[in-house]
């Protein structure tokens, strides 16, 4: 278990002085205090219907795009991040944890030990926004907990993808 109360990057993230890092997408919280960029397409994207996501997001589901931390680089606001471990109900960077902006409260991501589950609505995809295909969801997770039916052709899992029954 990783426990850190300091606002310092761990070695899994890219750094500003990494010459091999080429930004592909940029994201920011609502107020712009926290900004980061990623150098690769997401590994996967999903819609989660679990109760935690519903409660934390105040929505019927959460949309997340999953990146390796090595493809994530903060350009502003690391010191403005707030961490919350929902399992222990603690305001601490105990991985995995929820990440938000201290200033505006925007939910930014779920931070895992090696993965970053980013919320695609924070990325700048142009105006009007054109969501790139790699950010489009590939499945529904915890669909058995859904609050509304979603009619689409995506696989719907009762729990985690490929680790539970399909609905």
- Listed as own residue / partner, the contacts of 11-15 with beta carbons closer than 8 Å and 24 or more positions apart are 12/68, 12/69, 12/70, 12/113, 12/114, 13/69, 13/70, 13/72, 13/73, 13/74, 14/39, 14/70, 14/71, 14/72, 14/73, 15/73
pLDDT for residue 130: 95
| Residue spans per domain, the chain | 23-125+133-145
- Decide which of 3.40.190.10, 2.40.160.10, 2.60.40.10, 2.170.150.70 is the CATH code for 23-125+133-145: 2.170.150.70
pLDDT for residue 6: 45
pLDDT in tens, the chain (167 residues): 333 444 456 678 888 888 899 999 999 999 999 999 999 999 999 999 999 999 989 999 999 999 999 999 999 999 999 999 989 999 999 999 999 999 999 999 999 999 999 999 999 999 999 999 999 999 999 999 999 999 999 999 999 999 999 99
């Amino acid at each position: 278990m990783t426990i850190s109360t300091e606002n310092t990057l761990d070695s899994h993230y890219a750094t500003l002085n990494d010459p091999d890092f080429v930004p592909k997408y940029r994201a920011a919280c609502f107020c712009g205090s926290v900004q980061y960029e990623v150098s690769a397409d997401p590994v996967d994207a999903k819609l989660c219907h679990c109760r935690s996501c519903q409660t934390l997001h105040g929505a019927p589901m959460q949309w997340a795009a999953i990146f390796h931390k090595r493809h994530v680089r903060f350009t502003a606001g690391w010191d403005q991040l707030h961490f919350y471990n929902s399992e222990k109900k603690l305001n601490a960077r105990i991985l995995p944890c929820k990440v938000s902006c201290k200033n505006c409260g925007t939910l930014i991501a779920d931070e895992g030990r090696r993965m970053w589950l980013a919320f695609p609505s924070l990325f700048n995809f142009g105006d009007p926004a054109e969501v790139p295909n790699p950010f489009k969801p590939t499945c529904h997770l915890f669909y058995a907990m859904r609050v509304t039916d979603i009619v689409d052709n995506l696989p719907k899992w009762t729990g985690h993808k490929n680790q539970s029954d399909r609905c």
